[in-house]
Amino acid sequence: MSTESAEKLLDAATRLFVAHGIERVNSNQIAREAGVGVGTFYAHFKDKHELHQSLVLSALDALRVRVEKAVAAGPADPEQQVRRTVEAVIAFAEEQPDRFRIAFLGGGRFGYSTRGVERRLRELQEEGAVDRALHPGTAARAFASMQSGVLLWWLEDPSRGSRAEVFETLVRLHPALRRP
Amino acid sequence: MSTESAEKLLDAATRLFVAHGIERVNSNQIAREAGVGVGTFYAHFKDKHELHQSLVLSALDALRVRVEKAVAAGPADPEQQVRRTVEAVIAFAEEQPDRFRIAFLGGGRFGYSTRGVERRLRELQEEGAVDRALHPGTAARAFASMQSGVLLWWLEDPSRGSRAEVFETLVRLHPALRRP
Amino acid sequence: MSTESAEKLLDAATRLFVAHGIERVNSNQIAREAGVGVGTFYAHFKDKHELHQSLVLSALDALRVRVEKAVAAGPADPEQQVRRTVEAVIAFAEEQPDRFRIAFLGGGRFGYSTRGVERRLRELQEEGAVDRALHPGTAARAFASMQSGVLLWWLEDPSRGSRAEVFETLVRLHPALRRP
Amino acid sequence: MSTESAEKLLDAATRLFVAHGIERVNSNQIAREAGVGVGTFYAHFKDKHELHQSLVLSALDALRVRVEKAVAAGPADPEQQVRRTVEAVIAFAEEQPDRFRIAFLGGGRFGYSTRGVERRLRELQEEGAVDRALHPGTAARAFASMQSGVLLWWLEDPSRGSRAEVFETLVRLHPALRRP
DNA sequence: AATGAATGAGATTTCATTCAT
DNA sequence: TATGAATGAAATCTCATTCAT
């Protein structure tokens, strides 16, 4: 199976990228850590950046799937949705901290889409449920940035706040809960 | 104060770092772009990372000075302070976009301090002016992340929102304005 | 006679060698182009150079056979022999251009034998039919070089001259027709 | 001076290319033979092929210059011109055999121009001095091929013919001396 | 015989750093 | 201070070859 070595390489790279930073890791190290030959690295990935990108995209995708499930899992009530969404993201960050870091370290150059949140904000504004002075695009981006920024910071040292404090703070700062 | 060569190198590096990313730029390129010899680079900086760090620190410092002036420039009323602060940061980002990018691209690895905001939030909570359910450390970090994230995103394509929309959104999402 | 896979490999290699040059083609590419596995390549040939050599030798041999038939097919009259020989070589180049290229690209490192022509020139000189100032070995080599050089050049762009022009020119420059 | 190392590299490469063939020589070997560091190789040439090409072009150019001088050095009488030209080429091949080999090994992929000879043949045909049945383009290419082919063959083993025999044979096979 | 993923020796290439000028 | 050619350690990448299936 082609997947065997590729998996090993992806896992090894995740560990190394998080531990030392993408730029301080090289293809030989990744191959060695994965327990495969250098050639195998290049048989599966064009270069280190392609591997990195596939790691980021896969992590973002896994996160997206979890968030979508969370959204679908309960009532449309905005507060409950925000709570379920933030809960899903925190759970992901806790369960797979390295994948979460990979996805967001580097400032999210690979674009975490905020279209969904933006659309939802617009709807809530039309319903009169959300402050019309918020610019939906900006607010959506703001929440994405704060969420990833806070969680990276929290994962760095979980004693910075309890899970509940972090959760509650993110929820309460969510633009969808900003009443008019 | 630096010599003329050092200034040229700092400017060249800023341009190149922003255009291609820190890791895709090397000392020879910086020297060439600056119009000085490679040797001159090493006469002024230990290496690329020292130069980068001094660029980031200087940008963060310049920003800090502007924010402090803005804070000191008017009444202690929280909303007015938030407005003056956000205004100062946006003005800096507009006037010196490359310096702003340098400071925050890379996810702010050099730690933008959020101690001041955290302390102020705590005071406002004690006064009963701010939602006690917000965790001050987390909320301060959240605002820092959203502000830098939004402004980098906005600088990338200013047509994403008007200045006023971006401003108003950041202000309204500031935790200090989150009533109990 | 070779198996089917060997044939496919020879054909694929001919195409690739001519298109990209021997040194820019590797065994994996040949196998892929042939539609067989890499392992199959090594089941049939020791390496790329053995395959190349067998291609060259086989092409030179096929050409030799055609020329010998042409020589035997008519009168010993020098001009007619030269005409039949050149005709045979041009026909071969037209019918199997890639085989012809393979045989002579690379400057004919595998030695196209000129012994026959050399011997014939010597005879004709002894008969007084050919200029005695020509050195038979050199003249034979000269003709071989001009013939392969001209035909490679012509195959590259057949609009460089009509078939008849190329034919007539080669015939007339043949040392055997150089009267004393 | 930038030329110092570049010269050493060009000389070393000439020696190695001729001794072992372009494809069996690598950049490390060239640098070592030249007595410079590997980095120096890449400071002067993009890669091995650029170096090779500059070697070929420079050799062809040096040869062209000699031939032009030879042509200008005496009467326009076709036979004398052919003699002086062939003499110049043989002298070059004798004096700088490695440069000559570099220029023509590989089948002259870099295009030795035959325009001059072609034009001259056309003129001589118009004057009625040369066989009109020769196609000038083909004949010019034929002579270029025979000359380089013969001289490479002769340099390989100078005992294959005396200098005078080789000279006289090339002269007599020159299309410009082919009477109508 | 056929396969193709895996291998690693070795070739290519980069770049931080030095140093003679 | 300034220069930039030179350097070589280290990184990137290729490819002939093997071998388990």
Query: C-alpha angle B116/B118/B122, rounded to 5°?
Result: 115
Q: Under an 8 A CB cutoff, do D149 and C146 touch?
A: yes
Which of B1-10, C36-45, C62-71, C148-157 comes out lowest in average pLDDT?
A: B1-10
- Decide if pLDDT at B62 tops 90: yes
Query: Mean of the pLDDT values across residues B82-95?
Result: 98
- Decide if pLDDT at D146 tops 60: yes
**C-alpha to C-alpha distance for C100 and D152, rounded to whole angstroms:** 21
Q: Suggest the residue from B145, B156, B167 to mutate for an interface test with chain A (most A CBs closer than 10 A).
A: B145
* Residue bearing tokens 């690739």: C16
Please indicate, yes or no, if residue A109 is contained in any of the structural domains: yes
Q: Does C100 touch chain D (CB under 8 A)?
A: no
Per-residue pLDDT band for C112 (boundaries 50, 70, 90) equals confident
- Residues A171, A109, single domain; the answer is yes
- Residues D88, D9, single domain; the answer is no
Q: For chain B, what is the domain count?
A: 2
- Decide if pLDDT at A76 tops 80: yes
Please indicate, yes or no, if residue A144 is contained in any of the structural domains: yes
**C-alpha to C-alpha distance for B81 and B117, rounded to whole angstroms:** 11
**C-alpha to C-alpha distance for A38 and A17, rounded to whole angstroms:** 17
CA-atom Rg of chain B in angstroms: 19
- Decide if pLDDT at C48 tops 70: yes
Query: Mean of the pLDDT values across residues A94-120?
Result: 88
Amino acid B107: pLDDT: 66
- Residues B127, B61, single domain; the answer is yes
Query: Mean of the pLDDT values across residues A140-145?
Result: 97
Per-residue pLDDT band for B1 (boundaries 50, 70, 90) equals very low
- Decide if pLDDT at D140 tops 50: yes
Per-residue pLDDT band for B75 (boundaries 50, 70, 90) equals confident
A113-116, long-range: CB within 8 Å, 24+ apart, which pairs?
A: A113/A64, A114/A140, A114/A141, A114/A143, A114/A144, A115/A140
What pLDDT, in 10s, does the model give residues A150-171?
Answer: 999 999 999 999 999 999 999 9
Amino acid A113: pLDDT: 85
Question: Who among D105, D144, D173 is closest to C175 (CB)?
Answer: D173
Q: Do chains B and A touch (3 or more CB pairs under 8 A)?
A: yes
Q: If you write DSSP's letter for every residue of B15-48 in order, what string do you get?
A: HHHHHH-GGG--HHHHHHHHTS-HHHHHHH-SSH
- Residues B20, B107, single domain; the answer is no
Closest CA to A52 of A90, A20, A94, A95: A20
Please indicate, yes or no, if residue D163 is contained in any of the structural domains: yes
Per-residue pLDDT band for D75 (boundaries 50, 70, 90) equals confident
Q: Which residue is nearest to nucleotide F7 (CA to C1')?
A: D37
What value does the mean pLDDT of chain D take?
94
CATH number of residue D23's parent domain: 1.10.10.60
> Please, which residues 23-52 of chain B have a Cβ atom closer than 8 Å to chain A?
23
CATH number of residue B79's parent domain: 1.10.357
- Decide if pLDDT at C81 tops 80: yes
Please indicate, yes or no, if residue C31 is contained in any of the structural domains: yes
Closest CA to C6 of C42, C60, C53, C56: C42
- Residues C41, C74, single domain; the answer is no
Amino acid A2: pLDDT: 53
If DSSP codes are grouped into helix, strand and coil, which group holds residue B105?
coil
- Residues C125, C153, single domain; the answer is yes
CA dihedral of D130, D135, D140, D143, whole degrees rounded to 10: -80
- Residues A84, A123, single domain; the answer is yes
- Decide if pLDDT at C1 tops 60: no
Query: Mean of the pLDDT values across residues B158-178?
Result: 98
Per-residue pLDDT band for C110 (boundaries 50, 70, 90) equals low
- Residues D19, D89, single domain; the answer is no
Instruction: Mention every residue, 6+ apart, whose C-beta is less than 8 A from residue B20.
Output: none
In terms of Cβ atoms closer than 10 Å to its own Cβ (0-12, 13-18, 19+), residue A112 is middle
Query: Mean of the pLDDT values across residues C133-141?
Result: 97
- The helix (run of H) or strand (run of E) holding residue B150 is helix B136-156
Please indicate, yes or no, if residue B37 is contained in any of the structural domains: yes
Q: How many residues does chain C have?
A: 180
CA dihedral of D115, D120, D123, D124, whole degrees rounded to 10: -140
Which residue range forms the structural domain that includes residue B33?
1-45
Q: How far is C89 from chain D (nearest CA, A)?
A: 15
Residue D107: closest C-alpha in chain C:
C107
Amino acid C105: pLDDT: 85
Closest CA to A51 of A26, A83, A20, A85: A26
- Residues D70, D154, single domain; the answer is yes
Per-residue pLDDT band for C159 (boundaries 50, 70, 90) equals very high
Please indicate, yes or no, if residue B70 is contained in any of the structural domains: yes
- Residues B23, B86, single domain; the answer is no
